[in-house]
Structures are given as C-alpha cells and as structure tokens.
Amino acid sequence: MTAQYQVIGDVAVVTLANPPMNGLSHATRLAIADGVHKANADPAVKSIVVTGAGKAFCSGADITEFGSDKSIQEPNLLSLILMMENSAKPTIAAVHSICMGGGLELALGCHYRIAAPGTLVALPEVKLGLIPGAGGTQRLPRVLGVETALNMIVSGEPVKSEMLASIPGQKLFDKMASAPEALAAEALAYAKEIAAKHDDGSALPRVRDLKVSHPNAQAYFQFARNMVAGMAKNYPAPVKCVDAVQNALTMKFDDGMVAERDIFINLMWTPECRALRHLFVAERAASKIPDVPSDTPQRTIKQVAVIGAGTMGGGITMNFLNAGISVKMLEMKQEALDKGIAIIKKNYDAQVTKGKLKQAKLDERMALLTTTLSYDDLKDADLVIEAVFEEIGVKEKVFQQLDAVMKPGAILASNTSTLDVNKIASFTKRPQDVVGLHFFSPANVMKLLEVVRGEKTSKDVMATVMTIAKKIKKTAVVSGVCDGFIGNRMIEQYGRQGGFLLDEGCTPAQVDKAMEKFGMAMGPFRMGDLAGNDIGWAIRKRRATERAEMKYSKTADLLCEQGRFGQKVGKGWYDYVAGKRDAIPNAEVVAMIEAHRKSLGITPRKISDEEIVQRLVFALVNEAAHILEEGIANKASDIDIVYIFGYGFPAYRGGPLHYADQKGLFNVVETMARFAKNPLDDAAFWKPAPLLAKLAATGKTFN
Ligand code: NAD
C-alpha cells in the first residue's frame, strides 16, 4: 500500500507511504483518493488528516512518471487536489520534514494546514525547466503574498516552515506544531477542533477563494520579468513563472489554472526541460554501480589523511573539513605544510569576509586539521588520499610507504589524473584497497569526482567511497582504468580538434567564442590557460612515444616553447593582467599560428561557428562511444554528468550524449563522415565508434 488509512477516534488519517520521499506516483494518488472517499463515506469520521510516513510529508510528483501516461492517469494530481478541496469533511494537511512540489500543492488543496518546525517548503519545478503544474502558481501567492511566492517559485529554493509562518498575514500554515515529534498528536487535536468549528455546517475555507493583490502590480511584474530574463538567459521556465504568478492577479482562479496548465505542458517539451529532467535522473543514477548492490557492507571512515599539500591536496582537505571529518596532511618539508595550510586558511578567510562562513565555523574546521612529516602518524587513518607529483616513480614510493604503515582495511586512494591505477595498486600488497579518487581543480569547489575502479578494487571499497563522496557533497561517477579516465580522455579529442581548427584558419578567440555561445563555461583555449598549458604539453611528450600515431597540431607545443603556460604566468593563448581573469587576445600568438599555418602550406579558410561547435562536440561524442563500449563508463548518462559537473558543459543541453541523442545519431554520423573527408583533420578518428554506428543505423539513442 502506498498510503495507509486509519481511523483514530473520529479522525481519519491518510498517511502517504511511498518511500523514500512519498512521491505522488499513480498508485499513491489512488490510495490517497481511496482514503478520502472512505472517510467521507464513514459517518463516524468528522475530519481527515493527510500526512506522510518516514522521511518526508511529500517530495512531489514521481519524476519517473514524467511524460508517461501514468502521470496523467486519474486521479491525476489536479483531480486529487480538487477532491481535497471539495471534500465535505474538513481536510487538514499535517506536513513535516519535506513538503515540496506536488506535495505542497496537495497541502494547498486542503482546508487547513499544520506544519512541524524545520519543514523544508518549496516549489522546485523550475529546476527541472518547468513551472508548478497543479495550482502552485495560483494558490501560493494567495497564502504568502505575491512577492514571497514568486521568489520561491522562480528560485525553486526551500524555505523553512517557521520562517514562512512568521510572515505577517500569511495563510499558508494555520498552526505550527510545537516540535516535529509532536506533529502527529497535535494534528489530531487540531482536526477535532476544526471538526467542532464546522459542526454548524459553516463553509470550509478554500485557498482558491482568497483575494490576492499587489499595490504596484504592473511595475512590480515588469521589474521581476526584467530581472529574471537577465539572470535566466538560456532557460525559458523562470520568465514563465512570472507570467503564471501574474495571472493569479489578473485572471479568475479557474482561468489562471488553465493558463498554468498550458504553460506547464508547453515547457515540458522544450529541449531545456528535457535536458534538465535527464540530468535529474542521471545524477541519481550515477551513484548506483551495477554489480555493487546498495546493501554492500561499508567501511567506517572517521579519519582521513592527505599526502601532498599542493593545489589539489589543499582543496581535497577542505572538502573533508567542511564535512566535519578530521584530516592529517603529510608533506616532505615543513615549509610545504605551512604553505598549504596558509592557503586553506586564506580560502576560509575569504568566505568569512564575504559573509558566507562564520568565524566560529572556520575555527571549528581548522581545529580538525593536523599535519605531519612522518608516515607513522598516518597509521590510524581510515582513508588516505595521495595528491603528490604526477610521476609514477613518486607515486610508487608513496604507496609502498603507505602499504607499510596503514592499518589493515584502510582505503588507499590516488588523485592521479592520468596514471594507471592498476599499476599504482600493484605497488602495494593490498590492491583490493586501492582506488582512484580523481578530484577536479579547484577541488573544494568543483562538484565532480571520478571514482576510478581498479581491476582489483573490492566492492566494499567502491560502496564506501561512493558514500563518502555524498558526505563531502560531490557528484561521483565511476570510471574504469584508462588513460585520462572518462573526462580527460574525451577532452583530449576535443582539444585536438581545437588545434586543427587553428591550423585551418581560426584564431583561439574565434573558437572560444563559438563554444561559449554554444554554452560552454569556457572555450578550449581559455580552459587551457586556466588549467596550465604545460600540463597538456607534458602529457603529449609522454604520449609521443606511447601513441606515436596520434596526430596533433603543433601550435600548442610552440606556445609552450615560448613559456606561455597560461594564467599562472600571465600569458598563454591570451594575455592576463595580474589579479584579473579577462583573456586579452595577443597579436604575437595569432602571428605565430599564422606563420605555422604558412609553414604547412595551408591556405586559411573561413570556418563557421556551426562547424567549430560540431567538430568539438562530436569529437567528445565519438570518444564517449568508445568509452561506453569498452565498459570504462557504466552508462551514457554517467558521461553526461562528468561533462556537466566537471567541464562546464551547459546543463540546458543535458551533456554531450543527450545533446547527440537530441540531434539524432544518424545526423551525427553523417556529419562525422563529412569531417573525415577533410585532409587536414584526422580521418581515422572520425570513423564512428562501433557502438555509435550501430545506434545510428538502428535509430536508437545513447540514453
Ligand atoms: P602540486 O605540485 O600543486 O602539489 C604536489 C604536492 O605534493 C607538493 O606540495 C609536493 O611538495 C608534494 N609532494 C611531492 N612528493 C611528495 C612525497 N613523496 N610525499 C609527500 N608530499 C609530496 O600538484 P597538484 O596540482 O596538487 O597535483 C597533485 C596530483 O593531483 C597529481 O597527481 C595531479 O595529476 C593530480 N591532479 C591535478 C589536478 C590539477 O588541476 N592540478 C587535477 C586533478 C588531479
């Protein structure tokens, strides 16, 4: 049963019971409707309480039903809310923990509402590219006023129940429970009180009948629309939220409801909404590993050690301190430790200055951090993460020492970005305990974590690190072992295309602009300057012997020979002014590219933005298809998550593979065949990966 029905005295209690969050699936809606019918038919029942079991009152619609027939099967959410509103006996929503989306709309359909303190209240539909579609935009302004309601609907952010209850004149909550654990009893008592009040047959209050107005409605909505349009450039939903809320003032309630429904349905089929819904499901799916069931036993992680206090070691450490987990940092020299700690402290100080962190919290976090120069001090750590220089010889020494001192069962992780995790595991006598934890720079900011599963990494280690990732608020994706793992292996092909485009006639600024217009946070050359061009240079040198057949443009090497390593030295593909991040085109770099082009005997041609975008994005897609086929990634949606959270791919395009699916894989393959005919490109690369060719030929998609 997805909702329970119980009669306590003369109160019927309908309890949503669809774990984990009481999503309003078709079965749940049926069960609620059934309860309300029963209660109305039972002469012994005087009032009806609707509440939720477990961790939530209700998190809203069941997203897995979105776009399917089930979502509209009767009773759909609108019908269910009407039932609440039209019930002859008073309906009272007793909300706690989480009251969001359709859950809040359901509560707004009830005659009365009582809330537990600490309940998170939200209409988060905008985050999925939608507006609330079951009356939220019409009812919330009637109980909270236009401005508070619009803020909540446009941002999708949760607000605590006690905050909302303190707004003068609010009608969202008729009563606050004294404490979360008192809600059940106090809701019952309140229901009796309500029943007695209406014993005389007086009309039951309905939110739809409340008046809503704003002293400067016209000016306010114009202002709101301009603000929202400026902030939500590539997303259609936020502006539609403004339209819908304005309708609550200008239209009759029922007309406003029809308009809300129209907007909702039109948004549902926009590319942006599809992309955001895809990502919502993909993010939740990423934490699931096919052969590691959710009941796999896990190891306890209370103490963490980090080796190396450099760029990555510092950022990684902050993640754990933020989560309240103590960290011991190890370095070769005291100066390196002092420097690393000073940078962590500086980062926290900046947050305090901006008012994002309280001084007391800073002190609390710094108190969790200790340092050492001796491996013996690490022996009690449950998890150690190595972030030393990217040289296999250095890693070998570190892992041998860790193997010698760490307690049995400790997890030994490496933050390597390119080295072979199986080889690193082989430096120890416990390869089952070794795993890659590939953080992205800056590690305290970037959400992505690639968890690199070695051949011998044990399942309980995988389960444990996926849990730890959640604890430190990362979105973890599992990758198998290969050069570059998922993200960097793909970005190499993307960068290679960028190089060919320079040889053929583009400037770095032209390529970057085209990609930024497409929606990338940064074009490939600005990204290179940020990450450090010397890093790619070192990798290419290593690969020159390992993979001699791989063709590259020479421009990036020429750039590095001039010491133009990027932002850290104030010059790369662009020039930089100290303390600023603006990329200023440099005429000498452009001249260098032209001279190189001439030396190759290439006549430059005008290249369209469309060609730039397709070559770079389809290069990602083809490499991703190889990665999927080789089993390096478990599923296509994992690859989309890597690109959204780690590489600045625009969320409203849903990731490279979702984007390719939407373009049509047949079209992608046709376009690639055209690129293969370009003698200055790499024809062998553009041969579609077998998986891509097969999907395209059979009219299927990645996701
Ligand atoms: P870094 O040079 O900033 O820091 C490395 C630190 O390790 C230095 O402080 C050094 O003193 C210390 N160190 C070196 N050998 C040591 C040893 N034997 N014992 C203890 N400490 C030692 O380098 P980084 O950018 O932080 O990179 C560290 C690792 O993270 C590398 O494997 C790198 O590939 C990986 N990584 C880097 C990035 C990035 O963008 N910088 C991103 C992801 C992963």
More confident residue, 233 or 626: 626
| pLDDT score for 215 | 95
- Choosing from 65, 74, 85, 105, the catalytic residue is 105
- Residue 377 burial by Cβ neighbours in a 10 Å radius (0-12, 13-18, 19+): middle
- List, for residues 243-258, the tens digit of each pLDDT value: 999 999 999 999 999 9
- 65 has a pLDDT exceeding 90: no
pLDDT band of residue 470 (cuts 50, 70, 90) is: very high
- 542 has a pLDDT exceeding 90: no
**Lowest mean pLDDT segment, chosen from 42-56, 57-71, 656-670:** 57-71
The CA-atom distances, in angstroms, between 581 and each of 511, 517, 527, 570 are: 18, 19, 11, 9
- List, for residues 188-227, the tens digit of each pLDDT value: 999 999 999 999 999 999 999 999 999 999 999 999 999 9
Cα(329) to centroid of ligand 1, in Å? 13
- List, for residues 491-521, the tens digit of each pLDDT value: 999 999 999 999 999 999 999 999 999 999 9
Which percentage of the chain shows pLDDT scores above 70? Answer: 100
pTM for this structure?
Answer: 0.92
- Kindly state the average pLDDT of the residues 408-429: 96
| pLDDT score for 581 | 84
pLDDT band of residue 636 (cuts 50, 70, 90) is: very high
Structural contact between residues 22 and 56, judged by C-beta atoms closer than 8 angstroms: yes
Place of tokens 């593979």: 657
Structural contact between residues 557 and 550, judged by C-beta atoms closer than 8 angstroms: no
Structural contact between residues 111 and 204, judged by C-beta atoms closer than 8 angstroms: yes
pLDDT band of residue 236 (cuts 50, 70, 90) is: very high
Residue with CA nearest ligand 1 atom 29: 387
Token pair for residue 53? 């079991």
- List, for residues 271-298, the tens digit of each pLDDT value: 999 999 999 999 999 999 999 999 999 9
Residue 92, classed as helix, strand or coil, is strand
- Kindly state the average pLDDT of the residues 38-62: 96
CB proximity list for 201: less than 8 A, separation 6 or greater: none
- List, for residues 119-136, the tens digit of each pLDDT value: 999 999 999 999 999 999
Mean pLDDT of the chain: 96
Closest Cα to residue 615, out of 470, 697, 494?
Answer: 494
| pLDDT score for 544 | 76
The CA-atom distances, in angstroms, between 113 and each of 21, 32, 91, 256 are: 19, 17, 9, 23
| pLDDT score for 248 | 98
- List, for residues 68-121, the tens digit of each pLDDT value: 888 889 999 999 999 999 999 999 999 999 999 999 999 999 999 999 999 999
Place of tokens 């929202």: 228
CB proximity list for 340: less than 8 A, separation 6 or greater: 309, 310, 313, 314, 317, 329, 331
Axis crossing angle, helix 609-629 with helix 656-663, rounded to the nearest 10: 110
| pLDDT score for 551 | 87
Pocket test for ligand 1, best of 316, 405, 417 (most atoms within 8 A of CB): 417
Cα(129) to centroid of ligand 1, in Å? 40
DSSP 521-540: SS-HHHHHHHH-HHHHHHHH
pLDDT band of residue 229 (cuts 50, 70, 90) is: very high
d(CA 24, CA 42): 25
| pLDDT score for 70 | 87
CB proximity list for 366: less than 8 A, separation 6 or greater: 321, 344, 345, 348
**Which CATH code of 3.40.120.10, 1.20.930.40, 3.40.47.10, 1.10.1040.50 fits the domain covering 487-698?**
1.10.1040.50
Dihedral sign, CA of 17, 18, 24, 25?
negative
CB proximity list for 260: less than 8 A, separation 6 or greater: 131, 132, 133, 135, 136, 137, 138, 244, 247
- List, for residues 672-700, the tens digit of each pLDDT value: 999 999 999 999 999 999 999 999 999 99
More confident residue, 579 or 334: 334
CATH class held by domain 303-479? alpha beta
Ligand 1 contacts CB of residue 336 (under 6 A): yes
- 1 has a pLDDT exceeding 90: no
Token pair for residue 358? 């309280």
| pLDDT score for 535 | 87
Task: List the CATH code of the domain at 3-268.
Answer: 3.90.226.10
**Lowest mean pLDDT segment, chosen from 375-384, 460-469, 573-582, 616-625:** 573-582
Q: Phi, psi at residue 377, to the nearest 5°?
A: -75, -10
Q: Phi, psi at residue 444, to the nearest 5°?
A: -85, -5
| pLDDT score for 234 | 93
Cα(307) to centroid of ligand 1, in Å? 9
Q: Which atom of ligand 1 approaches the CA of 531 most closely?
A: 40
Ligand 1 contacts CB of residue 313 (under 6 A): yes
Token pair for residue 423? 């080889």
- Choosing from 85, 125, 272, 386, the catalytic residue is 125
| pLDDT score for 210 | 98
Biggest CA pair distance of the chain: 95
Whether 492 is a known active-site residue: answer no
- List, for residues 437-449, the tens digit of each pLDDT value: 999 989 999 999 9
Cα(387) to centroid of ligand 1, in Å? 4
- 543 has a pLDDT exceeding 80: no
What single-letter DSSP state applies at residue 357? Answer: S
pLDDT band of residue 64 (cuts 50, 70, 90) is: confident
- 546 has a pLDDT exceeding 80: no
Ligand 1 contacts CB of residue 387 (under 6 A): yes
Whether 331 is a known active-site residue: answer no
d(CA 48, CA 46): 7
d(CA 413, CA 28): 43
pLDDT band of residue 430 (cuts 50, 70, 90) is: very high
Token pair for residue 330? 């190890």
Q: Which long-range contacts (CB under 8 A, 24 or more apart) does 624-630 make?
A: 624/486, 624/490, 624/656, 624/657, 624/702, 625/688, 625/689, 625/690, 625/691, 625/692, 625/702, 626/689, 626/691, 627/482, 627/486, 627/489, 627/490, 628/691, 628/702, 629/689, 629/690, 629/691, 630/480, 630/482
171 C-beta neighbours (distance < 10 Å), count: 14
d(CA 250, CA 213): 9
Token pair for residue 377? 């001090």
- Domain definitions of the chain by residue range: 3-268, 303-479, 487-698
Cα(131) to centroid of ligand 1, in Å? 45
- List, for residues 587-601, the tens digit of each pLDDT value: 999 999 999 999 999
Closest Cα to residue 518, out of 633, 653, 694?
Answer: 653
Structural contact between residues 548 and 471, judged by C-beta atoms closer than 8 angstroms: no
Closest Cα to residue 416, out of 476, 483, 370?
Answer: 483
Sequence-ordered alpha helix ranges (H) in 547-676: 555-561, 587-599, 609-629, 636-646, 656-663, 665-676
- List, for residues 611-631, the tens digit of each pLDDT value: 999 999 999 999 999 999 999
